[in-house]
Structure 1
Amino acid sequence: MSLDELKNIIAPTASISTILQFLSGTLICLKIARNKSTGDISPFPFISGCLSTSLWLRYGFYIDDSSIILVNTIGASLFFAYVVTFFIYSIKKSMVLRQTVGCTAVLVATLLYVQNQESFEEAKKCLGIVCCIVTILFFAAPLASLLHVIKMKSTESLPFPIILASFITSLQWLLYGIILEDKFIQIPNFLGCVLSGFQLTLFCLYPSTPKGYNSEFI
């Protein structure tokens, strides 16, 4: 099988997997709308997701890749809708606005800096580095609960379906980056595979409920 044939297989499957992963946010938004409150849910994953997809959308135009453009056009639209939904039902609107303004400032500053670069390669390199950093932070976010998991010896707080989906999606985009010989696609998705793979091993080490938990008391 040639690289072009492999690319034609991975591109649509990776795109579909990523879009389905993005759509998982609709379940959270439906729950928020049903409860008419955001509760303890943080808006940052939605806001950072909007930033990440917007940056990758611009990068997709830079390298003229239709798969990256399509996926991140849909992703940016969905995450923007999620942020708006979160803002409507949040009782901490000022916090949502501060985080939104902060991420918007990063996006605008990056795009303006890239736009003013005379060299195409320098612009691409700068945008690629920022995309990598934002994506790595997005992948690493669930590790914040790692200490809690180890302390409780339970993976109950970890979202297994989302972590598994992240591993599969990262693996597909890693292969796609290898085919394109694009290190800016390879690096964050390699780390995404490592981070999500590490989290998946926790499900082998610890049960989904803490020790001493008795279901008879439910």
Structure 2
Amino acid sequence: MVSAVFIRQGVGVVGNVISLCLFLSPIPTFKSIWKKGAVEDFSPYPYIVTVLNCALWVYYGLITPNSLLVISINAAGLFIEFIYVALYILYAEKKQRKNACILSLCEIFSYAALVLSCSLIPNPQSWRGVVIGWLCVFINIGMYAVPCVAIYRVCKTKSLAYMPFWLSLACFLNGLCWLAYSLIGFDKYIFTSNGAGLVLGVIQISVIGYYLFKYPQPRDYILPEWLLSKLSKSQNNKIIDEKASGGRKVELSDMVEISIHS
């Protein structure tokens, strides 16, 4: 019989993969920043806050038994988010760079003071996990809630451009997976933050589903244009192969369709 510990580890590994996808989701944004050589109107705050969130979860994992998977994914996230913040500072204008640096330094000093306080005060075990745990909960819920801010703009414009499908789906799956992880060997902090995250993810997916079927959206909203073109070309090739193998005539329009999508 499979043990609960083994199942929990398996769920945690899946959660790590989904969380990693979530951490990597801003890559297109920073690729655009790198190409343009400017951050334009992009905000650094989500990435700076995520740095703090990951750092807190790493510390929580270090003081909580059997939390290797929590440590590993948040350590990876911390590294990735540091890169994002560094790239933002590199390409930001003077005022933007100053604000991002000040906020980052305040965050670093606040985190260092918190860890130092927990380390120096005698016998902190009775409350250390509680303080760090609830801080993780509040910041994590805030991260899950960030995409929901776009709902107002979606409702106003009837456009899903402000609510990326894959980011919302990743938030939903991340909350679901880590909620399951927290229930196997109950952890109230992971349970609370990801339970709330799951609810917020359901709200986002529901909004996307409603506006996706109610109002016309760009054809590349879910799949990128290059993949759509490739799929379209593949489908046209299939039609031609079926016609040829069946002894039917291949029309010139079939060949033109392929050349258009090539």
TM-score, normalised via structure 1 length: 0.90
Is 1:159 the counterpart of 2:164? The answer is: yes
Kindly provide the amino acid, as one letter, of the partner of residue 161 in structure 2: E
Extract unaligned runs of 5+ from structure 1. none
- Aligned Cα RMSD in Å? 2.1
Amino acid corresponding to residue 53 of structure 2 in structure 1: S
Decide which of 131, 134, 144 is 2:136's aligned counterpart. 131
1:8 aligns with 2:5: no
Q: Tell me, in whole angstroms, the C-alpha distance in 2 between the residues paired with 1:47 and 1:165.
A: 20
Q: Percent identity?
A: 24
For 2:137 and 2:113, locate their aligned partners in 1 and report how far apart those are by CA, in whole Å. 16
Matching residue of 1:23: 24
Note the C-alpha offset of 1:112: 2.7
Deviation at 1:153, TM superposition (A): 2.8
Distance apart, 1:210 and its partner CA? 6.0
Aligned residues: 214
In structure 1, what residue type is equivalent to 2:150? S
User: Distance between the aligned counterparts of 2:194 and 2:116, measured in 1?
Assistant: 26
Report the residue type matching 1:102 in the other structure: C
User: What are the Cα deviations for residues 81-128 of structure 1, in whole angstroms up to 9, with x where unaligned?
Assistant: 110011000111112113213322432233233224423131010000
Give the number of the structure with larger relative contact order, counting CA–CA contacts within 8 Å between residues 6 or more apart.
1
- Alpha-carbon spacing, 1:180–1:113, altered in 2? closer, same or farther (3 Å): farther
Distance 1:24 1:206 in 2: 22
Contact 1:114 1:127 in 2 (8 A): no
Give the whole-Å Cα distance in 1 for the aligned partners of 2:48 and 2:103: 7
Distance 1:103 1:210, change over 3 A: farther
Residues 209 and 43 (structure 1), Cα distance of their counterparts in 2 relative to 1, 3 Å cut: farther
Counterpart in the other structure of 1:207: 212
Q: For the residues of structure 2 that align with 1:76 and 1:106, how far apart are their CA atoms?
A: 16
Instruction: Indicate if the aligned counterparts of 1:22 and 1:78 stay in contact, CA closer than 8 A.
Output: yes
1:59-80 per-residue CA deviation (whole Å, 9 max, x = no partner) reads 1111141111111111111111
Q: Secondary structure at the match of 2:161?
A: coil
**TM-score when scaled to structure 2?**
0.76
C-alpha offsets along residues 119-140 of structure 1, whole Å, 9 cap, x if unaligned? 3131010000111111111111
1:80 paired residue number: 82
CA shift, 1:214, in A, is: 10
1:177 maps to: 182
User: Using the alignment, how far apart are the partners of 1:179 and 1:96 within structure 2?
Assistant: 39
